[in-house]
Amino acid sequence: MISDGSKTPCEVVDSAAAAGIKKICLTDHDALHGNYAKLREYAKSKGVEVLPFSGVEINTMYFEGEKPLLWVDILVYGDDDKLRDPRFTSLFSRFYGHTNVIARQQFEKLPQTGIPMSFDELFLLDPDVAPVYKNDMYCRSYILKRAAAKIGVPHEELRSKYPDIFPFNLPTRSVNLRRIADMPDSAEIVRIASELGLVTVMAHPPCIDPFWECDEHLVNSVQMEKIIRDLAAAGLDGVEACHRELAVSGTTELVKSLAAELGLITTGGSDYHDEKERGNDLGVYGTTEEELAVLMRKIREKAKKRIKN
């Protein structure tokens, strides 16, 4: 979506409505957006229900001892206010600050492209429905895609024309090493989220990146199983068991059997960014009504447990 896609929250709702989807939960990367209540009102007018809980997808680092090993994405679901608890947001906002710097630098160079976009056009979106403010978090692909959409060209074309402004390569290992200091530990995210009464789900289990090779996914069923078991021991609540990467890697049944063995809930996700990104079509992979009921029950149970404690 916004943080590593090219759509605003309302545009995602519009796309869901066009695809005939009736229920959605927005889980942007490392970003929480403005007024979810107004977004739900907007979605209702389009015949779409934004589910009565919020979510966020967090880039985390899986450590082997003290050695940073793998990038693992953790989905966190729960009450809007709990997700905004500083004890939780501080764990990932520091890391994403590095990306904010890149995004701001790109905006400052945008006049070199001749594309007439104001700061508010890029950073203040859907102001009457679900405002996303200037201090929220974005990644550089967002700037690229919004600018390309402004002039009606593919973002790859704009990137190739201005490689100094929109470099293709992800950060080098040396940059990653500096970012690791602020990157949340996978187990720590799970632990803090659980303490706050939030539900954690491991996103797209086979889609795991070595932090020093950001351009390649690591699909290793043995390592994937170890990570799931380790995070389950730390308090992980569930795993995505319906996702394109699972189907491609042939690991769907492995993940489902692990979930059953470890008592983890299962969910699904399209991993939708926009129509041209990654081939993840909106609504193709999703959570069943039965899985949704289990997830919502888990959210309520953990929230009540938090209140009692």
**Domain spans of the chain, in order of start:** 9-100+173-308
CATH superfamily of 9-100+173-308: Metal-dependent hydrolases (3.20.20.140)
Rounded to two decimals, the pTM is 0.82
Judged by average pLDDT, the poorest of 15-29, 33-47, 59-73, 174-188 is 174-188
Residues with Cβ within 8 Å of 81's Cβ and at least 6 positions away in sequence, in order, are none
- Range with the lowest mean pLDDT among 3-17, 179-193, 222-236? 3-17
36-45 helix and 9-18 helix, angle to the nearest 10 degrees: 30
Q: Give φ, ψ of 172 to 5 degrees.
A: -70, 170
Residue 215 pLDDT: 44
